[in-house]
Amino acid sequence: MAADPEARIDEIARELLAVPPSEFVSARKTRAAEESDPDLAAAVRALRKPLLSAWIVNLFGRERPDDLRQALELAARLRAAQAQLDAKELARLGRDRRRLVDALARNAAELAESRGERVSVATFDSVRETLNAAMFDPGAANAVASGRLLRPLEASAAAPADLADAVAGYLDPPEPESADRPASPTRGRTKAGDGKRGEAAEAERAARAEEARNAGEEATRAEDVARDVEERAVAARDHADRLAERVTELEAELSAARQEAERSRAQAEELDAERAEAMERAEAARARAAAAERRAKG
């Protein structure tokens, strides 16, 4: 384990937040007791239990790290490029982003349900809102990527996420994202000739055109990612449906077997009664025979 105290508590927090919510308190107590450093043990005891929606997002990040990483990287590139997009392209980008977030949230919820957790509508909405916040806000994206979320996040294009008490341990600020467009070649200069200004303007127009093309490509990649995630989600739901059908079949077979067993028990009870009655008749017949034999001898 890392020697740096902050790194150690981050690692321990990530470890504890991986256990099911119902086991968190006992796991935290056990983990704190294992620490010889009293300050670190106190920090472990102070770790809060995550809300279920945050635990689900953390679970998704652990189980599907490539999906989450690609989505967050794509979101960062789209944030950097969207300043060059027109209203129509921005609307399309917004729809693609929503589809991607919905698909990621469904996959995360299915993972949680496969671990035995019940995901309510409200919890699913919180998972989706948290992933959506990561699409808009680099700070929220950093928190989601940490794997140490304690509560859901909210953010939009107009308002960044409030990260106070949202992450266990320590969270470094996100790395600065690339500027929306490159600085003008003449910026900061006192005076330039007309020819140089024209060249600079042409270079800036070319740069903007290139960024617009890149933004279009990013939007296309976003659609591809959304479709890929959606296909996996559909496949997972189909598999779940098939398993549910098999469970129904097995339950029907079990019910039929129970009914057959009940009929067999009833038949066995009837046969036991008949056997007892036959034994009584045989005993009575033997008694009559013995009496007749005695009379014959007398």
**Is the pLDDT reported for residue 288 higher than 50?**
yes
221: containing domain:
52-175+195-248
* Percent of the chain topping pLDDT 70: 74
Q: Are residues 76 and 135 in the same domain?
A: yes
Mean pLDDT, to the nearest integer, of 64-77? 86
Is residue 163 included in any domain, yes or no?
yes
- This prediction has a pTM of 0.58
Same domain, 57 and 23: no
Mean pLDDT (the chain) is 79
Alpha-carbon dihedral 121, 124, 128, 131, rounded to 10 degrees: 160
- Cβ pair 144, 127 in contact under 8 A: no
Q: Is 188 within a domain?
A: no
10 and 115 part of one domain: no
Same domain? 41 vs 68: no
> Is residue 79 a part of any domain in this protein?
yes
Q: Are residues 56 and 11 in the same domain?
A: no
179 vs 199: CA distance, rounded Å:
21
Q: How confident is the model at residue 85 (pLDDT cuts 50, 70, 90)?
A: low
Q: Same domain, yes or no, for 134 and 206?
A: yes
Higher pLDDT, 166 or 240: 166
Q: To 10 degrees, the CA torsion angle through 218, 223, 227, 230?
A: 100
- Which parts of 23-166 are beta strand (E)? none
Predicted confidence at residue 126, as pLDDT, reads 94
| Residue 153 C-alpha from the chain's centroid | 15
165 plus 92 within the same structural domain: yes
pLDDT at residue 187 is higher than 50: no
What pLDDT, on the 0 to 100 scale, is given for residue 51?
A: 94
- The two tokens of residue 125 are 């909405």
Q: Are residues 143 and 74 in the same domain?
A: yes
Same domain, 113 and 235: yes
Strand partners, 167: 149
Which residue has better confidence, 19 or 77?
Answer: 19
- For position 218, what pLDDT does the model report? 59
Same structural domain, 166 and 116: yes
More confident residue, 84 or 205: 84
Indicate whether 192 pLDDT > 50.
Answer: no
**What total number of domains does the chain contain?**
2
Same domain for 135 and 35?
A: no
Nearest to 17 by CA among 53, 50, 66, 42: 50
Q: What is the mean pLDDT of residues 128-140?
A: 91
pLDDT at 206 over 70: no
**pLDDT of 24 higher than 90:** yes
Taking CA atoms, 126 is separated from 55, 74, 109, in Å, by 11, 21, 11
